[in-house]
Structure 1
Amino acid sequence: MAEASDDEFSTGDRVTWKSHGSEAGGTVERKITSDTEASGRTVRASEDEPQYEVRSEKSGRTAVHRPEALHEK
């Protein structure tokens, strides 16, 4: 059984993450809970180990991050 975590985000949440030595910001596009293609790569995810697709405010591109890499803005 997975324990409750502070690393839960919802679509539309504004988040920050480390990117190339600085901090980037953006918006959660979706929670990924199964293996899929996203942001141009294969993403390994599950209900117990989800990942989040986020859209960068700066570049407008999407990236996929593990919840522990994201912080609420």
Structure 2
Amino acid sequence: MADEFAEGDHVSWKSHGGEAEGTVQRTITEDTEAAGRTVRAREDEPQYEVKSDKSGGTAVHKGSALHED
């Protein structure tokens, strides 16, 4: 089962420039538009919208790509 996170959790993930850090803004559990793209998600395979500490931008990641700080 994928890692699970909650709104407000501080997480890190691998990025183009190394490692990025940010805060989980919401859990996505159904197909939707987020961070400028179509996100495919389900209850048993959620994705997480995170806000970058450095840029302030948002991105969506699978739980397996995130690490809780």
TM-score, scaled relative to structure 1: 0.90
Q: Does 1:41 align with 2:37?
A: yes
Q: Deviations over 1:7-28 (max 9, x none)?
A: 1100000000000150100000
Which of 16, 19, 30 is the aligned partner of 1:20? 16
Residue 52 (structure 1) shift? 0.2
Aligned to 2:53: 57
Structure 1: 5+ residue runs without aligned partners? Answer: none
4+ residue segments displaced more than 6 Å: none
Provide the identity percentage.
Answer: 71
Unpaired segments ≥5 residues, structure 2: none
Q: Secondary structure at the match of 1:60?
A: coil
Q: Which has the higher strand share?
A: 2
State how many pairs are aligned: 69
Higher gyration radius (CA): 1
Distance 2:20 2:57 in 1: 12
Matched AA of 2:63: P
Give TM-score scaled by structure 2 length. Answer: 0.95
- AA at the equivalent of 2:59: A
Superposition RMSD in Å: 1.0
